[in-house]
Amino acid sequence: MVEKTWIDYVSAFGSIATPILVIVISTMGLKFKSVLERKVDIENKLRTDRIEIYNQILEPFIIILMSDAAWAKDKKIKI
C-alpha cells in the first residue's frame, strides 16, 4: 500500500477548493458589476436634473453680468 504524503493532501484540497473559489470570486464580480451598473444608471438619470439646477443657480449671475445690448436682444425677455 502506498503511503499518503502531504502533496497528496494538498492536491486533494486544491481539487476541491478550486471550483469553490471560482464560484465565490465570480459571484463577487457579478455583485460588483451590478452595483457599478446601478450607480451609472442613477448618475445618468440625475444628469438632466443637475443641469436644470445649475442653470437656476447661475441665472442671477448671468443677468447681473449681461450687457444692456445682449439684454435687449434676448427673445425671452419682454420689455
Q: pLDDT by residue (tens digit) across 36-50?
A: 999 999 998 898 889
Predicted pLDDT of residue 25: 97
Residue 54 lies in a domain: yes
Residue 79 lies in a domain: no
CB 33 within 8 A of CB 39: no
Domain that holds residue 12: 6-73
Q: Structurally, how many domains does the chain consist of?
A: 1
For the chain, how big is the Rg over CA atoms in Å?
32
Q: Please give the grid coordinates belonging to residue 32.
A: 460588483
Residue 55 lies in a domain: yes
Question: What's the pTM?
Answer: 0.53
